Amino acid sequence: MIATLAKKEFLTNLVAPRFVIGFVLCLVLIPFSLLINISGYRERVAQYRIDHEAAEKAADEVRVYSFLRPEIVLPPEPLAVFGKGVSDQVGNRVRILLGDKPLLAEGKTAAGDNPFLASFFSVDFVDIAAIVFSLLALIFSYDAFSREKEDGTLKLQMANKLGRSTALAGKLLGILATLLPVVAFSFLLGGLLILFSRDVPFAAGEWGRIALLFGASLVYLAVFVFLGLLVSTRSRSSVTSLVVCLLLWVVLVFVVPAVSSNFAGSFFAASSRDNLDRVLKDIDKQRDDAISAAFKAQGIPEGYSCWWCWNDADGRMETYGNPREEFEKFRRRAAVSEPIRLEYADKKWAPAKAYLDSLARQARAAERLSFLSPTGLFRTAAAALCRTDLAAHERRMELARRYRETFVAWLRGKQIFSSFRWITPADPAAFKTEDELVTLRTGGEFKTARELEDWASKQTDARAHWIKVSQVKVAGDRPDDFPFLDVSDMPRFEARAAALSEAGPAGLWVMLLLIEAVFLFYAGYVAFIRYDVR
Amino acid sequence: MFRTVLRRELLHNLYSLRFLISLALLIAVFTAGAVSFVRSHAADMEKFRETRGQYLENMRALAGRNASELAVRRQTYTLAPQTSGFIADAKEKYLPNALVYSAWNVFSFQNRSGSANPFLEKFDELSWTFISALVLSFVALLFTFDAVAGEKEAKTLALSLANSVSRGTILAAKLASAVLSVLAIALAGVLTSLLIVVALGSEGLSAPLAAEVLGFLPVAGLLAATFAAFGLLASVISRNSNVSLLLALSFWLVFAVVIPNSSTFLAKTLFPIDSAETIQKNVDAAFDDLNKNAPPGSWMMNSGNPFLPQHELRANLQTKRLAAEKGIRDAYYQSMFLQFERTRLVTSVSPVALFEVLTEAVTGGGYLRFRKAWTDMRVYQEQFLSFFKALDAADKGSPHWFNPSENVSTTRLPVAFEKVPQFEERPMSFADRVGPVLRYLLINVFVLGAVYFLAFVLFVRYDVR
């Protein structure tokens, strides 16, 4: 009997205009959202290649260890084609520094090169699925009983030897059987677009996650079907049921997620970034003072002069062509300053982590509040399945921080901070005295630095000293005289995507969705048992 | 006759369940939005005051050190959080909201880090604009989707038309009643929200704010009318209300959800701009060219001796570098503005996108506000430069070789901070607001007229039996 009822319901729905319009909606919106996101993915891959190449080049083209600052460039997530989550906002580049632990990733966001485009929002497959599937579920279920009651066919049915449970089961199966092909078709279409696009690399793991997303979509669909049935059994007319269902749809799909984010923003305030920057700046100042104090304690003078030197933030220093004693001064400075820099990086991490935690707390509050709606649960589960949720990002950043520790340990293992190789590729055995350098550079015209100074002080052209010492090019005076550093033994960052077996949290959210579905089904069942069919 | 039909339709709407539920929903959402705004605005203002204090303190310290240091050091001016953000936030937290300048140039703009939480998926503020764009537009469709098809099913349409009433009158009355019903709901929400903001907020109800509130209502009416016209169109296309509902919902999905959310894709596809990397390469190439052609000694510097002759060469080179970079970057910024504006124009086929642009003009926020601040900052920068040059001219200990990037060869005297001209963002005038969006207003009126006309033509041919 259930099969007969389900078949009747299925065939009735199949010939209804709402099926055709619903199907056309999916046919238009699903490919549209996927094509937009495939295009976005291609753009991100192109940018990734540029960034990755630049990072590799930068790592390969250093001559001293001091300038070695690996940059991690994370590849774009192929599953973001289905659900972007926060992947478009969090950046994909992490620079490994000595003075700071990685805080936030950098890199272009979805807005690309134009920051004004950041004010435009975008939708993806998951968003469209959340909107359209729920709408279809309600459109097919809002009048399941109220319409039949109005037509008088419900009491006719119930006058036969037909249990209410059987009638309800038949109705439900009929509706689900109508909607199942629509959902399956949407995923099939999505899969085909991925296959035909060729440049979105989907392996078995990715297909497995899409299969799980399909399962989650079915549960989500069921929640709204049961909700529609519940409203239908509690309404006197199909018009009332329709109005209630549609307003519920707007509330659950659009309003609750928006209210959740707003309330999280207002009631779970994130720490001020400006404040963090000020705190970090203060710690940097303390660090610089500690370095100066250490220099003083060890008798290292603050000032220095060099023939060719380039220094940059985070203690980067590269120098050439100096007298032996100047090189030694630089070596001693680094041996003192870099361990202190590392020590203060740990101190800076405490406020930085507190800031990160406040951001994460706010985001999680928005997520949890959105669980008031099945759409919030579905989108959270989908982002987890697509590896584009906050947890996936935090996992990647944690790996980046661990990589920094490995990198620092590798540097320490080489005892590189107290080595000349930290600041220059020149061989210490070939270092010369200042007088030897003056003699070489002036082609023997001056024998000592003192002699040259005395001569220069009598000249009117301030460039006189410089012109004299530039007469003869001495090997080792410039970076080009040295090959790039061989860093083949440097540990490399390995990004490992979470395996299918690690989709635990998504399973939890789907389970919650399932509980919601069971609850709504039960409520609908009870309501139908008590329903006045006359 | 129009008034009679309108009255009947209006009463029908006001007594309907959909009106009551919509009213309750709208009041709840407006209340949530107002409460949320009051809290977040207070926190934003506190953060902003800290940032502004730091900015002024920094400038005061530089002025106390010396005038050249103040002139060449880049400053970041942050725009204040908008007080009428509860009406239309115009997505300001995602837009550039800080201007980087010195006395020599307005260099760039940026979205200050911390404006938006990167871990939180992008979301709309629960402003009147968002609520209206999403919920009011939907409610407008709910009032009209069965206006014709529903009456046909109920057999009341044929009865109505059996009287001496024209089809045009009936359709116009249905449109007017839907708009008035939606506006009544909107007004209830708006008043609730305003009451909360004025009672709990720190700003109070000023005359400009009252003008913005009054300006919002006709724009909301235009939105409601446009969607109501879409609802009527769906209703006259179909023979039964089920189909017209689905058509109306499809319209809504496309115009309120899909098109506004396709803007980034459209911008990049239809109006591509150069990448930041290309621009940087162009700047680097221009710098290389200038360096190669610079006279020897142009990079020589002795900070202890401002009159070192090479400092004049250095100042000339830095001035040329600044001009070269400014030329390249300003052209790039123009391409960004154009990309954004053209995309907005393309997406203006959606009444929701149009509504967002119009409410942005009503509150004088968002992109319009940024563009005005960007233009005003350039005027200010010229004043700041003139002020600095006058200071330098008065200092006999300065070589007067203007170097826009370094404190090397210009006055080293301190300056009283109170005398330094300060940039203050000025409120937008009526012309500033209306001028740029007039075409969007005309487009909206045209869309409304076209959809209504189409609905009218189809209704004239509609088989009411």
Is the pLDDT at B154 greater than 90, yes or no?
no
Of the candidates A85, A111, A262, the beta carbon closest to that of B264 is on A111
Residues of B in contact with A32 (CB under 8 A): 258, 262
**The pLDDT of residue B300:** 82
Q: Does B117 touch chain A (CB under 8 A)?
A: yes
Continuous H helices in B238-363? 241-252, 263-270, 276-293, 310-346, 351-363
pLDDT at B114 over 70: no
pLDDT tens track for A379-420? 999 999 999 999 999 999 999 999 999 999 999 999 999 999
Residues of A within 8 A of B267 (CB-CB) are 114, 117, 120
Contact B138 A246 (CB under 8 A): yes
Q: Pick from A247, A257, A362: which is nearest to B117 by CB? A: A362
**What does the buried/exposed string (b/e) look like for B418-455 if buried means 16 or more CB atoms within 10 Å of the residue's CB?**
eebeebebeebeeebbeebbeebbebbeebbeebbebb
| Closest CB from B124, B247, B275 relative to A258 | B124
Residue of chain B nearest A41, judged by CA positions = B265
Interface test with B, best of A27, A121, A132, A254 (most B CBs within 10 A): A121
**pLDDT(B164) > 90:** no
| Residue A322 DSSP one-character state | -
Q: What is the mean pLDDT of residues A486-509?
A: 80
For the cut 80, the answer to whether the pLDDT of residue A255 exceeds it is yes
**Which is higher by pLDDT, A238 or A423?**
A423
Separation of alpha carbons B450 and B18, rounded Å: 27
Per-residue pLDDT tens digits for A295-319: 999 988 877 778 888 889 999 999 9
C-alpha distance from B386 to closest chain A C-alpha (Å): 31
Mean pLDDT (chain A) is 89
Three-state secondary structure string covering A95-130: ECCCCCCCCCCECCCCCCCCHHHHHCCCCCHHHHHH
Q: Cα torsion for B66, B67, B71, B73, to the nearest 10°? A: 10
- List, in sequence order, every residue forming a beta bridge with B106; answer none if it has no partner: B101
Average pLDDT value for residue range B181-197: 95
- On chain A, the residues whose CB falls within 8 A of the CB of B227 are none
Token pair of A368 as six digits: 């949890």
Instruction: Report the pLDDT value the prediction gives residue B402, as an integer from 0 to 100.
Output: 95
Pairing of strands B75-78, B98-101: antiparallel
Residues near A139 by beta carbon (within 8 Å), at least 6 away in sequence: A18, A22, A228, B245, B246, B249
Q: Is the pLDDT of residue B112 over 90?
A: no
On chain A, the residues whose CB falls within 8 A of the CB of B259 are: none
Dihedral of alpha carbons A165, A171, A177, A182, sign: negative
The verdict on B112 touching A (C-beta cutoff 8 Å) is: yes
DSSP class of A199? S
d(CA A378, CA A384): 10
A23 Cα to chain B: minimum distance (Å) = 11
Cβ pair A269:B336 closer than 8 A: no
Mean pLDDT of the region A345-358:
95
Burial class (CB in 10 A: 0-12, 13-18, 19+), B162: exposed
Query: Are B120 and A110 a contacting pair at CB < 8 A?
Result: no
Please report, rounded to a whole number, the percentage of residues in chain B having pLDDT higher than 70.
99
Task: Kindly report which listed range (A239-248, A282-291, B440-449) carries the lowest average pLDDT score.
Answer: A239-248
Question: Which distant-in-sequence residues (6+ apart) come within 8 Å of A457 by Cβ?
Answer: none
Residue A420 to residue A426: CA distance in whole angstroms: 8
Contact B126 A262 (CB under 8 A): yes
| Chain A residues whose beta carbon lies within 8 Å of the beta carbon of residue B275 | 112-113
Q: Do A393 and B119 touch (CB under 8 A)?
A: yes
Per CB-CB distance under 8 Å, the chain A contacts of B135 are 250, 254-255
pLDDT tens-place string over residues B360-408: 999 999 999 999 999 999 999 999 999 999 999 999 889 999 999 999 8
- Closest-approach residue (CA) in chain A for B302: A462
DSSP codes of every residue in B98-166: EEEE-SS-EEEEE--TTSS-TTSPP-----HHHHIIIIIHHHHHHHHTTTTHHHHHTTHHHHHHTSS--
pLDDT band with cut points at 50, 70 and 90 for residue B163 = confident
Query: Chain B, 227-256: which have a CB under 8 Å from a chain A CB?
Result: 238, 242-243, 245-247, 249-250, 253
Residue A521 has pLDDT above 80, yes or no: yes
Enter the pTM of the model: 0.88
CB contact under 8 Å between B269 and A119, yes or no, is no
Contact residues, chain B, for A115 at CB < 8 Å: 95-96, 109-111, 336
Which residue is it, tokens 């009444």? B351
Mean pLDDT in residue range A98-109: 89
Interface predicted TM-score (ipTM) of this complex, two decimals: 0.91
Q: Cα–Cα distance between B234 and B255 in angstroms, integer?
A: 14
The answer to which of A25-39, A491-505, B208-222 has the lowest mean pLDDT is A491-505
Closest residue by Cα to residue B232 from B459, B5, B1, B22? B459
d(C-alpha B377, C-alpha A266), whole Å: 31
Contact list in B for residue A366 (CB cut-off 8 A) is 120-121, 123
Q: What is the pLDDT of residues B54-95, one digit of tens each?
A: 999 999 999 999 999 999 999 999 999 998 999 998 899 899
Residues B117, A43: C-beta atoms closer than 8 Å: no
Using a CB-CB distance cutoff of 8 angstroms, which residues of chain A are in contact with residue B309?
A: 462
Residue A238, pLDDT > 90, answer no
- CA distances A238 to A147, A179, A523, B154, Å, are 5, 20, 19, 14
How far apart are alpha carbons B460 and B448 in whole angstroms?
18
pLDDT value at A498 more than 70: no
Nearest Cα residue in chain B from A240: B17
CB distance from B394 to chain A under 8 Å? no
Pairwise CB contact (< 8 Å): B269 & A247: no
Compare all CA atoms of chain A with the CA of B55 and give the residue at the minimum distance. Answer: A274
